[in-house]
Amino acid sequence: MDRIVVKGGGPLAGRIEISGAKNACLALMPATLLSEEPLTLTNAPRLSDIRTMSVLLESLGAEISTMQGGKVLAMSSHAADNHVADYDIVRKMRASNLVLGPLLARHGHAVVSLPGGCAIGARPMDLHISALEAMGAQIDLRDGYLHAEAKGGLKGADITLRFASVGATENTVMAATLAKGTTILRNAAREPEIVDLVECLRKMGAQIEGEGTATITIEGVDRLHGATHPVVADRIETGTYMLAPAIAGGEVELVGGRMDLLGAFCEKLDACGIELSETGTGLIAKRRNGRVDAVNVVTEVFPGFPTDLQAQMMAVMCTANGVSVLEERIFENRFMHAPELIRMGAHIDVQGGIATVTGVEKLRGAPVMATDLRASVSLILAALAAEGETVVNRVYHLDRGYERVEEKLGAVGARIERVSE
């Protein structure tokens, strides 16, 4: 099993190229099931989660080929006739549930295993199920599988989500593109990944309005055609690498990074002493002075502070001036990185969904264990500023969402390497 070894100390300098968004690509890929014509995605990230989704789609009968070293995905579902998403594949990744809506829309039936992924909370499927049931589907849970059927096809409906779930919004929007009539989805998620999905679906012939707002309207069509679509830049990867010079010092240019996708996050960085500036090709991040100042953070649905950047922000707050309070409102069990940061000398007190962090001057290198995707990279960020050597174990989590992290950070001066046992 691979490990990441980091020797702390020294500022960062140079350029990091931002990859396509994992969460956007994972939603775009199942859209191929909606059409018999080819769907090609460019700027795709090269990640284990993308490979898992490819395996799942191929198991359903889709044909997928990669080009340009994996950055282009050419997909065709003209012969996709299997409607069973098997547990052995789905258990590896939460986003596997995004085949449910397209399968129902295309075939009128689907059997999908309950999904897996990082252990950061229950994240139940009830929102997906209730939305699809409102569109006429009958869904039963048997032996760990959702058995869904829509006799006569899905029908448009007026749906209000109890919570602005990204996954439920994506599943519902994809299903509604081929439903009969008009679907109005209220309290919809507004994340950039939703906007990116809708832009792709619109290129395929879908009739959708309101993406990026809380109300999305979809007018069902008889069929969708093929398209070529670039995956939007990964805002979570961008935010992660914006924090690298915040904790280690120096100046880093993030090529392809977009500040407009990270409004609330950028406001917090400005408040704690990080200077951000846009360039013709991306953005530059650097500290204004020495140690950053402590700031309080509350995770919220977009456009609020992203839960997927909470662990990384905590790592930076570990060496900030003052005391910061981080409140996690999206997922339970998402402070599992705190005990590992404490092993490195951080002062963190966790009470339920609130973590209080008292900044220290220096962290110390230590052997630590990654507990989930974002926690793993938070430990790497902390290691950049720690004295001595840090060994991050169980980095298979990392490979689910960060493309060649050791190469990207190594290119800007970090002393980091991947070691295979």
Which residue numbers belong to the known binding site? 22-23, 94, 123-127, 308, 330
The values of phi and psi at residue 283, to 5°, are -155, 160
Alpha carbon distance, N-terminus to C-terminus of the chain:
6
Q: What angle do CA 330, 320, 362 make, to 5 degrees?
A: 115
Q: What are phi and psi of 294, to 5 degrees?
A: -70, 140
Give the catalytic positions in this structure. Answer: 118
Q: E strands within 18-174?
A: 39-42, 63-67, 72-76, 84-85, 109-113, 138-142, 145-149, 158-160
**Helix, strand, or coil here: 412?**
coil
Q: How far apart are CA 396 and CA 257, in angstroms?
A: 25
Residues 308 and 336 sit within 8 Å (Cβ to Cβ): no
Q: What is the DSSP letter of 115?
A: P
Give the contacts of 275 (CB within 8 A, at least 6 positions apart).
Answer: 285, 286, 287, 288
| Torsion sign (Cα): 17, 19, 294, 315 | negative
Whole-number Å distance between alpha carbons of 2 and 25: 25
- Binding-site residues for phosphoenolpyruvate, in ranges, read 22-23
Helix (H) or strand (E) holding 420: strand 415-420
Q: Which residues are annotated as a binding site for UDP-N-acetyl-alpha-D-glucosamine?
A: 94, 123-127, 308, 330
CA distance 53 to 22: 11
User: What is the H or E stretch that residue 207 is in?
Assistant: strand 207-209
Token digits of residue 395 = 């980095």
Whole-angstrom Cα Rg for the chain? 21
Helix (H, G, I), strand (E, B) or coil at 49: helix
378 in the Ramachandran plot: left (φ > 0), alpha (ψ -120 to 50) or beta?
alpha
Query: 47: which 2 tokens?
Result: 């990640």
331 with 313: CB under 8 angstroms?
A: no
d(CA 230, CA 220): 24
Report the C-alpha gap between 334 and 327 in whole angstroms: 10
